[in-house]
């Protein structure tokens, strides 16, 4: 059953739900192995090289060493993120597929200003240009049918109802560690001697662009460390129509 086939009729929704139940009974490594057996090179994954990205990258490459790993570089990442990405790519021998927006950061700001400071709509426009459009281009280029990502229910209220499998904008989304707790993540990192993102030691629990990420302070929820609490999701993991924005 391909991602396209899941949209052909009401019965396919039931098939997706049944498949989700099957995967939910497995551990994360078994889930990835099952997906690889089923989809082969139509399975890709994305990474932001965030705080806990080493976990899924390690899990996935143990099962499928050559899995295409999509990294969208917005041009506004922390210097620590770029170095972390370089080191982890070398260590895990990642099959990296790096994608960037169609316009540079300088051109973007010259023509459209600092959109991340323009409220919810401005953030949405910013995210479309610098994240969603490059990701859509990557998925098309790679002929992906299933997109694996490291989202977890414990990370935010926007993710607490996610299942192992879901349809998003005509592609199958696959979340092998969706039910992992923070403690499980930390235990896996320790057990496998994996590196944490350098900014974790400075109080960051989630890392994106420099201008839209803050430390976790007393009284804050994890999701409030992104976009000044206005938004948690950047558009990559949301069902949404294309934003009317000309690049």
Catalytic residue among 35, 70, 234, 236: 234
Closest CA to 239 of 182, 171, 146, 169: 169
- CB-CB neighbours of 34 under 10 Å: 17
Closest CA to 35 of 45, 47, 50: 45
Cβ atoms of 80 and 198 closer than 8 Å: yes
Q: Which residues are bridge partners to 146 per DSSP?
A: 43, 172
Q: Quote the tokens at residue 189.
A: 């990192």
Residues across the chain = 247
Rg value, the chain, Cα: 18
Q: Would you call 234 a catalytic residue per the annotation?
A: yes
Q: Quote the tokens at residue 65.
A: 């060493």
Catalogue the active-site residues. 234
């Amino acid at each position: 059953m391909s991602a396209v086939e899941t949209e052909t009729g009401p019965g396919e929704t039931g098939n997706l739900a049944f498949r989700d139940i099957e995967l939910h009974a497995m551990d994360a490594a078994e889930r990835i192995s099952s997906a690889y057996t089923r989809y082969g090179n139509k399975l890709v994954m994305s990474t932001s090289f965030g705080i806990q990205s080493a976990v899924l990258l390690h899990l996935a490459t143990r099962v499928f060493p050559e899995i295409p790993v999509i990294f969208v570089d917005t041009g506004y990442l922390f210097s620590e993120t770029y170095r972390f990405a370089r080191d982890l790519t070398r260590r895990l021998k990642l099959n990296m597929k790096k994608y960037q927006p169609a316009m540079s950061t300088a051109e973007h700001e010259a023509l459209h200003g600092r959109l991340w400071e323009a409220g919810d709509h401005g953030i949405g426009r910013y995210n479309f240009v610098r994240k969603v459009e490059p990701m859509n281009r990557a998925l098309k280029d790679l002929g992906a049918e299933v997109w694996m990502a490291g989202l977890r229910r414990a990370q935010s209220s926007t993710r607490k109802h996610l299942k192992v499998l879901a349809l998003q904008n005509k592609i199958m989304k696959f979340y092998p560690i969706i039910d992992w707790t923070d403690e499980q993540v930390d235990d896996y990192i320790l057990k496998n001697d994996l590196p944490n993102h350098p900014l974790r030691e400075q109080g960051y629990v989630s890392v994106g662009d420099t201008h839209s990420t803050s430390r976790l302070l007393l009284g804050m929820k994890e999701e409030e460390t992104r976009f000044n609490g206005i938004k948690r999701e950047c558009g990559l993991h949301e069902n949404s129509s294309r934003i009317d924005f000309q690049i």
